[in-house]
Chains A and B, each alone.
Chain A
Amino acid sequence: DQQVKQNSPSLSVQEGRISILNCDYTNSMFDYFLWYKKYPAEGPTFLISISSIKDKNEDGRFTVFLNKSAKHLSLHIVPSQPGDSAVYFCAAIPRVGNTGKLIFGQGTTLQVKP
């Protein structure tokens, strides 16, 4: 039972345009949501997070939006750059247990074309 889902395995955008990556979750008991970015042959690296009590968090070119009623979050990258080409993982931290455990989606491969 996958609690965090990224239904688009891939996305291709032109350099300078907006990239929108989507993520859905099924469990309302998540405390934090995060986006991780992964290049080939490397481990995931943290990109941006959002608390479940907020609906938006912005960091430079990256903005994460949280829609709790729809159980949906999205990552916006504006403007997209070729160096943003990577796999993006959505992840969530359960409220119960306080273990720091991350529950990941299956990732979306973003390709930014020059």
Chain B
Amino acid sequence: DTAVSQTPKYLVTQMGNDKSIKCEQNLGHDTMYWYKQDSKKFLKIMFSYNNKELIINETVPNRFSPKSPDKAHLNLHINSLELGDSAVYFCASSQERSRRGTYNEQFFGPGTRLTVL
């Protein structure tokens, strides 16, 4: 059973297009995240939702918009794609957001490799 799944696994598209990446978790977790791994291999948080409420919104262009229709899903929509958006995007989930003095393990999906031509 896949705990955190993402579709598609690979996405190749032209500059200027609009695309979506879907994420689903079947762990019953309350919190979901999107991370971006760029060409330098850094994994950086983009967004986080807790019970469908946005709790983290890092400095990300507003062409990126997360949508959480329910606790089990967090989709990422990207408008007007640019060359610099090429990266691997990882979705993750955790039981709840970690509070001070605790850590709730984040479970990651397999990633979506986005290539913008």
Contact = CB atoms under 8 A, between A and B. Distances in A.
Q: Do A and B bind each other?
A: yes
Interface of A: 2, 31-32, 34, 36, 41-46, 49, 51, 87, 89, 91, 93, 95, 98-107
29 contacts: A31-B100, A41-B110, A43-B92, A43-B107, A43-B110, A44-B43, A44-B90, A45-B108, A46-B107, A49-B103, A51-B103, A91-B43, A93-B98, A93-B103, A98-B99, A99-B48, A100-B31, A100-B33, A100-B48, A100-B106, A101-B33, A102-B43, A102-B45, A103-B45, A104-B35, A104-B42, A106-B41, A107-B41, A107-B43
Task: Give 4 closest A-B pairs by Cβ, nearest first.
Answer: A43-B108, A100-B97, A100-B98, A104-B43
A44 B104 CA distance: 15
Given A43-B4, A104-B35, A104-B42, 14 more contacts: A2-B42, A32-B103, A42-B110, A43-B92, A43-B109, A43-B111, A46-B106, A51-B101, A99-B48, A100-B94, A100-B98, A101-B33, A102-B43, A106-B40
Contacts of A45: 107-108
A51 B41 CA distance: 25
Contacts of B63: none
Interface residues of B, number: 31
Contacts of B103: 31-32, 34, 49, 51, 93
Contacts of B98: 31-32, 93, 98-100
